Amino acid sequence: MIYLWKHHKLKLFLLLLFAPVLIKGQSANDAYNRGVNSMAIENYEDAIIHFNEAIERIPHFYEAYFERGRSYLYLNDFEKAINDLTNAIDYKSDFSDAFLYRAHAWSATGNHMRALDDYSHAISIDTKNLQAYLKRSEIHIRNSNLKPAIADLTKVIELGHENPNVYLNRGKLYEQKGDYELAFNDFCKALEMDSMHAEVRYERGVVLFKKEQFDEAASDLSLAMQQGINSQHIYQLRADAYFSSGDFDQAIEDYTTLINTFRQRNEETHYKRALSYYFAKEFEAAIRDFTRVIGQNRSHAEAYAYRADSYYKLGRKSQALNDYRLAININPDNPIIFEKRGEMLMQEGEIQKALEDFNKAIYLNPCASNFYNRAAVHAANENSSSACEDLRKAAELGHPEAKERLKIFCP
């Protein structure tokens, strides 16, 4: 009985001794929980009051410092946020999320290098911290450090984060590096996740254009436009894609939109529409646009040359010859002038003059079409060996009709 009495007396003594501490800890936890509840409903001012109470009761309460720091961050009071998050880190040096949120605060103040250090600390503590990788990649992108940015986004993907924007951002980085195939693959993956993602559709269209897949590029850009992207730039890109794919009617529509809706009444846009009219064999419309180009730039030799050919196609030979003369005076080293005039002279039966023009065109630009045209002149002169020699050269340079004619005329 004496032993039991002494034992109960010791328990009572310890309870009386530690009760204030236990009560204080319980009160701090209650205040902390109230603060967390206030944060959950985005009442950050009240949350701060509760966290203040928790910290007053337990000065080393690092979770309360962390949450109060986050509350200040959400209220855009970045200095106080940094101070509280620093206290949390001082009391718990392996607190990954405290480094993460302090990095957010540093970024908000424009101190991106400190933010970069904190994101790296967060990752060193928790190698699966997705937010840290994502945010660190943004700083790398801001600093034009493409390789580490790609590495961070790749890590996010490896950790299983399925988000089309991650693939979008990595794809854009690959595109900047000129790795168009890798960029294309990322954009395809993003579209598998969200086929209605307009920006991804647009970016894939850009990459397809750079890969010279013009039909596919125009298709993607059209879908992006249907999904809400209707900027001047996308019309410009789609117009150029249509033009490069040979869909001149659609190119004309887009260049017209650029001219009328976006007020792009400049030399370049009128010239591209003029060429579209020319290749669509709408020569009157082409002449009007080439004339506009010449009005904006009297030294545009190619506009004179194409206008000359358009005049000739409409049976206006004297105007064509005058434009060729003007074009040569402006730039006697432009091969297009001699190529086009050579074609006219050949059709007019002026074989020797045509030959002189094609010789000049080849000297300035030894391309497949010029060799092919000169082969026709040699054939008209019954110079079969020279004709076959030029056909072989044209075929080597990729002229499809030259390859067929070689089989027939030069076995």
Average pLDDT (283-298) is 98
The least confident of 3-7, 146-150, 176-180 is 3-7
Question: Per-residue pLDDT tens for 369-397?
Answer: 999 999 999 999 989 999 999 999 999 99
Confidence at residue 411, expressed as pLDDT on a 0 to 100 scale: 77
Counts of helices then strands in the chain (DSSP H, E) = 23, 0
Q: What is the crossing angle of helices 267-279 and 301-313, to 10°?
A: 30
Confidence at residue 17, expressed as pLDDT on a 0 to 100 scale: 40
Q: What is the crossing angle of helices 267-279 and 283-296, to 10°?
A: 160
Q: Which of 221, 223, 191, 200 is nearest to 209 (CA)?
A: 221
- Average pLDDT score, the chain: 93
Output 39-45 pairs: Cβ under 8 A, ≥24 positions apart: 39/67, 39/70, 39/71, 42/74, 44/71, 44/72, 44/74, 44/75, 45/75
- The CA dihedral of 242, 247, 249, 251, to the nearest 10 degrees, is 10
* List of residues 6+ apart from 35 with CB closer than 8 A: 46, 47, 48, 49, 50, 51, 54, 64, 67, 68, 71
Instruction: Give the three-class secondary structure for 66.
Output: helix
Confidence at residue 24, expressed as pLDDT on a 0 to 100 scale: 52
Average pLDDT (274-283) is 98
Q: Give residue 156's Cα distance to chain centre.
A: 20
Instruction: Give the three-class secondary structure for 134.
Output: helix
Share of the chain above pLDDT 90, in %: 91
Question: Per-residue pLDDT tens for 78-109?
Answer: 999 999 999 999 999 999 999 999 999 999 99
Confidence at residue 408, expressed as pLDDT on a 0 to 100 scale: 86
Q: How confident is the model at residue 403 (pLDDT cuts 50, 70, 90)?
A: confident
Instruction: Give the three-class secondary structure for 314.
Output: coil
Confidence at residue 56, expressed as pLDDT on a 0 to 100 scale: 95
Confidence at residue 224, expressed as pLDDT on a 0 to 100 scale: 98
Confidence at residue 259, expressed as pLDDT on a 0 to 100 scale: 98
Cα–Cα dist 142/305, whole Å: 47
Cα–Cα dist 92/97, whole Å: 11
Q: How many CA atoms lie within 13 A of 346 on its CB side?
A: 23
Cα–Cα dist 187/216, whole Å: 14
Cα–Cα dist 119/1, whole Å: 63
